[in-house]
Structure 1
Amino acid sequence: MRRAVCPGSYDPPTNGHLDILERAAGLFDEVTVAVLINKNKKGLFTVEERLSLLQESMAHLTNVRFDSWHGLLVDYCRQNDIQAIVKGLRAVSDFDYELQMAQMNQQLTGVETLFMPTKPENSFLSSSLVKEVATYGGDVRHLLSATVHTHLMDRLARDK
């Protein structure tokens, strides 16, 4: 069975994330969406909330599972018999950083990283930018699934 993991913070998951996840699901027998836990970062949504948003947004895909992880991604891959990491790239600046990570991961455990370019309409998208625009009243509904948009707007209204 060909397994891959798509790691990220997904705070919140954008249409760019969902596009990469759907495309990865078409290439592998099983894809794990791993919400990575960084204790040094305070997210807008909890890890559990992000997992729930991803599950709701990706419910139509039967070969996608959801998990969270704190630690080295290659350890997660080893423990779960995952052969590949799939990363979306928006720009050359993403590639510079991701290439170093991919080479380190391959050197540590032999896990391969596959880079998937985003579609042009998603090339500017980041969770941070979406949150910032929404915080100032900008319309971001076209950048998120309906489920994620509703939760984002509710959270921002509650946190005012």
Structure 2
Amino acid sequence: MREKIGIIPGSFDPVTKGHLDIITRASGLFDKVIVSVLNNRTKNPLFSAEERVKLIEKTVESLDNVEVDQFDGLLIDYVRQKNAKAIIKGLRAVSDFEYELQMASINQKLDKQVETVFMMTSPEYAYLSSSIVKELAKYHAHTQDLVPECVEDALNKKFNKEL
């Protein structure tokens, strides 16, 4: 029987407790979960793709069936390369669903063998985004309830350098 592999793609700039909620729950549904950092050269992220991979690796080290990788290009090509069965997307609100539905439809058109699985984030993280975390950290607000400790440390280092 083919191993059930799910891909969780995203920018993860930085990874939040909301992301970890989805990753942890997905790890219980799939034989293997690959958290894939999108290396989008058109954006100007706070953390490099390599830094994001390392931060995610630290936060998921207790999850035996989760690995972390990075990619660029079309997601569907990456999914095929990894022999994955599903793309896993976390949803916070209706606005997320509208965009993700479009992406799922395009991916389904490109490859009917790959499903998109939508997971609602847990209510305590429904408001949380990487953008909010970066904005708070920029002004030295506490983020310990929003991100893992290693991410909070990395954020503090980034923003203290810019002072």
Whether TM-score is above 0.5 comes out as yes
Asked if structure 1 preserves the Cα contact closer than 8 Å seen for 2:140 and 2:156, the reply is no
Question: What's the counterpart of residue 118 of structure 1?
Answer: 121
Give the counterpart of 1:150 among 138, 149, 153: 153
Q: Which amino acid aligns with 2:86?
A: A
1:129 equivalent to 2:123? Answer: no
Question: What's the counterpart of residue 48 of structure 2?
Answer: 46
* Counterpart Cα distance in 2 of 1:137 and 1:51: 24
* Counterpart Cα distance in 2 of 1:79 and 1:135: 37
Q: Percent identity?
A: 50
* Counterpart Cα distance in 2 of 1:61 and 1:137: 31
Within-5 A mapping of 1:1-160: 1-110=3-112, 111-160=114-163
Runs of 4+ in 1 over 3 A off after TM superposition: none
After superposition, the CA RMSD in angstroms is: 0.7
TM-score (ref. length: structure 1): 0.98
* Counterpart Cα distance in 2 of 1:65 and 1:135: 29
Question: How many residues are paired up?
Answer: 160
Report deviation, 1:101. 0.4
* Counterpart Cα distance in 2 of 1:149 and 1:138: 10
Q: Which amino acid aligns with 2:34?
A: T
- Structure 1 regions of 5+ residues with no counterpart? none
TM-score (ref. length: structure 2): 0.96
Greater displacement, 18-27 / 135-144: 135-144
Report deviation, 1:159. 2.3
Q: Which amino acid aligns with 2:27?
A: A
Report deviation, 1:136. 1.4
- Structure 2 regions of 5+ residues with no counterpart? none
* Counterpart Cα distance in 2 of 1:58 and 1:158: 27
